Amino acid sequence: MKKTTENIENLTGLWKLAGQQFIGYEKDNTILSSFIQGSEWPNKIWTEAPLSEDLISQLRDKMEQNPQLTFSYFNTNTTDNPLLTERSFELQFNQTGMSMPLKSLFATQKVLDFKRVETGLQAALWSTAFQSAFGYDFGARTLEKTLDKVPYYLVYHNKELVGTIILYKIGKIAGVHALGIIPEKRKQGYATEIMYNILNKAIKDGLEWATLQASPMAKNMYLKMGFTVDFLMQNYKLKQD
C-alpha cells in the first residue's frame, strides 16, 4: 500500500506544482484540482477520500464549472464504480499505476543523449515534441515556470531528436512521466532504451523505487522490465448533453 500511495503522491505532486505556478491549484477538503488556462495539461481533479454519492456530486459540480477538468480516479480495487456512470461521468481512458524497486543497472543498446531543458527555446522544442508524441498540449510556459524544479529531458540519438521524458523525484521515488516518441522515430526500440537509460540514472542518483502510469499500449513493455501493478487510474469527463 505504501508504494501505491507514493506512486500517486509523485504524480499528483507534479500536477500540484504545475498548477501552483499559475495560481491554478485548489484544495477543497478532500477534493483537489490543478488547472492551467490555455494548456491541456494537467487540468485534473482528484480526491483523497473514498467515493460516495455526496463526494461525486461535489466533483460533478466543480467539473460543470470548469468542463476542461478531467477526474482521475485512483482505483486500487480495479473494479468499476457504478456511482460514476450513474452520475453522468463518462470514462475517457485508463492508465495503470506501476512501480519497481531499483536495483541492478540495465544493459542498453543505444547511446542516447539526454539534454535537460534549461532555456525558453528548449522548452518550446520539448512542448512541440510532446504534442507530436501525445497529441495534446503541454505548454512551453509551464516548462519555463517549473524547469528549475522538474527535470524535463529532450532525448537525442545520433544528434536527432527522438522523444521526451520527465524524471520527477520525491524522496527516494523516481517518477517517470511523459515518455513520448515522436512519430517518425517509433517502432525503433527507443521507448525501451529511454526507459533503461532513465532508470539507470535514477539508480546512480541513489533512488530506490521507480513509479509511472502506463497506457494500455505500453503496459506490457513495463511488465517485461519488472514493473508491477499498483492501481488502475480511470480518467473521466462529464457526459455532454
CB 208 within 8 A of CB 47: no
Higher pLDDT, 181 or 240: 181
Report d(CA 182, CA 171) in Å as an integer: 31
Domain boundaries, the chain: 2-98+232-238, 112-207
Please say whether the dihedral angle defined by the alpha carbons of residues 19, 169, 194 and 95, taken in this order, is positive or negative.
negative
- Quote the pLDDT of residue 84: 86
CB of 182 closer than 8 Å to CB of 162: yes
pLDDT for 77 equals 77
Higher pLDDT residue, 2 or 129? 129
The residue written with cell numbers 457504478 in the block is 82
3-state helix, strand, coil split of the chain in percent (to 5) is 35, 35, 30
Are the CB atoms for 55 and 31 separated by under 8 Å?
Answer: yes
Quick one: pLDDT at residue 87? 76
pLDDT of residue 85: 78
First vs last C-alpha separation in the chain? 39
Amino acid occupying residue 41: W
37-47 in b/e form (b: 16+ CB < 10 A) is eebebbbbbbb
Query: For residue 70, what is its C-alpha cell?
Result: 478531467
The overall average pLDDT reported for the chain is 95
pLDDT digit string (tens) for 130-153? Answer: 999 999 999 999 999 999 999 999
The CA angle 5-207-110, to the nearest 5 degrees, is: 115
The arrangement of secondary structure in 112-207, i.e. its CATH architecture, is: 3-Layer(aba) Sandwich (3.40)
Given a cut of 70, is residue 241 above it in pLDDT?
no
Q: Band the pLDDT of 200: cuts 50, 70, 90.
A: very high
Residues of the chain above pLDDT 70, percent: 98
Please list the residues that pair with 97 across neighbouring strands. Answer: 213, 231
- In the chain, DSSP assigns E strands to 25-28, 31-34, 44-47, 70-75, 89-101, 112-116, 152-157, 160-170, 173-181, 209-214, 228-238
The per-residue pLDDT for 164 is 98
pLDDT in tens, 32-89: 999 999 999 999 999 999 999 999 999 999 999 999 999 999 998 756 677 787 778 9
